[in-house]
Amino acid sequence: MTTRTLHMSIALDYLEEVTREDERAGKPQQFITGTDGRPLSYVAAFVHINELRAEGLDVFPPCRDTDATGRCRGHHE
Ligand SMILES: [Zn+2]
């Protein structure tokens, strides 16, 4: 038996919505991190979401092995 790992991904539209809700509620931005692993500012987070859309993605890529929409292709172990 082989095992396959599939990373869950979140739709960019939903991610943007919950991030805007957090911003309105005065919470720190928590979902999107930079290359240093620390959360981005809200402005930078929304810029990043739009950059991903410009690349043709409709979900936030959960790992490095994704298809053209940003979804995980699955990993064999
Ligand atoms: Zn993956």
Round the average pLDDT of the chain to a whole number and report it: 95
Report whether pLDDT(3) > 90. no
Taking the centre of ligand 1 as the mean of its atom positions, its distance from the CA of residue 67, in whole angstroms, is 10
Q: What is the pTM of this model?
A: 0.86
Range of the domain at 36: 4-76
Structurally, the chain folds into a number of domains equal to: 1
Report whether pLDDT(77) > 80. no
Taking the centre of ligand 1 as the mean of its atom positions, its distance from the CA of residue 68, in whole angstroms, is 13
Identify the bridge partners of residue 7 per DSSP, sorted by sequence position.
none
Q: pLDDT tens-digit profile of 18-55? A: 999 999 999 999 999 998 999 999 999 999 999 999 99
Taking the centre of ligand 1 as the mean of its atom positions, its distance from the CA of residue 29, in whole angstroms, is 24
Inter-CA distances, 70 with 16, 21, 24, 27, 74, Å: 16, 23, 27, 27, 12
Taking the centre of ligand 1 as the mean of its atom positions, its distance from the CA of residue 31, in whole angstroms, is 18
Taking the centre of ligand 1 as the mean of its atom positions, its distance from the CA of residue 63, in whole angstroms, is 5
Residue type, 32: I
Report whether pLDDT(2) > 90. no
Rounded to the nearest 10 degrees, what angle do helices 42-54 and 12-24 cross at? 170
Report whether pLDDT(66) > 90. yes
